[in-house]
């Protein structure tokens, strides 16, 4: 009879305090994991935005060369060049008939040097740095995004 009483008084299950501690640990762990994931996603998004912006500028330069658009002060055909210099990895220059300098978002940089030029009226692509395709490689936090320009002027983007 003593044994039966012992089993009846034994507590089964978890106390409320133990349950709350486990829930708190799971919540903190989830927050840490999600915060790290969010950081990686932000880096990929920044690279993609800068890559798409570069692609749009290259396309605009190619279209300007095809249309023959130029400044009234320039005589003859215009050359539209996009240049990345390893001495200034956080920016790139657009030269020719509508020059400008573009600065990349904080932390996004180019790897190496590259350039591509489109000349009116056929918008033929030429380069002085590397053989085709010309690769503009954007990097941040160990991730990279490549914008490639082929000899025919086709633009492709690749997430590495």
- Of the candidate CATH numbers 3.20.20.70, 3.55.40.10, 3.40.50.970, 3.30.1360.80, the domain formed by 14-159 belongs to 3.55.40.10
Region at 107 (left for phi over 0; alpha for psi -120 to 50; beta for the rest): left
pLDDT digits (tens, 9 = 90+) for 28-67: 998 887 776 667 788 888 999 999 999 999 999 999 888 8
Predicted structure pTM score? 0.74
- Name which of 110, 47, 108 is nearest 83 in CA terms: 110
pLDDT category, 160, cuts 50, 70, 90?
Answer: confident
Report the pLDDT value the prediction gives residue 49, as an integer from 0 to 100: 94
DSSP assigned state of 39: H
Provide the pLDDT for residue 130: 80
| Domain edges within the chain | 14-159
Question: How many whole angstroms separate alpha carbon 81 and alpha carbon 116?
Answer: 6
Q: Which residue has the higher pLDDT, 160 or 46?
A: 46
């Amino acid at each position: 009879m003593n044994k039966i009483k012992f089993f009846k008084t034994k507590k089964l299950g978890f106390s409320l305090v133990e349950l709350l501690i486990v829930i708190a640990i799971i919540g903190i762990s989830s927050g840490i994991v999600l915060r790290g994931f969010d950081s990686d996603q932000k880096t990929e998004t920044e690279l993609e935005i800068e890559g798409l912006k570069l692609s749009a500028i290259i396309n605009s330069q190619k279209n300007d060369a095809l249309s023959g658009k130029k400044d009234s002060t320039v005589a003859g055909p215009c050359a539209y060049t996009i240049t990345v210099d390893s001495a200034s990895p956080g920016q790139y220059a657009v030269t020719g008939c509508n020059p400008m300098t573009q600065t990349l978002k904080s932390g996004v940089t180019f790897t190496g040097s590259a350039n591509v030029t489109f000349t009116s009226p056929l918008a033929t692509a030429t380069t002085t740095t590397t053989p085709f395709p010309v690769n503009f490689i954007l990097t941040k936090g160990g991730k990279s995004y490549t914008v490639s320009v082929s000899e025919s002027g086709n633009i492709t983007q690749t997430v590495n």
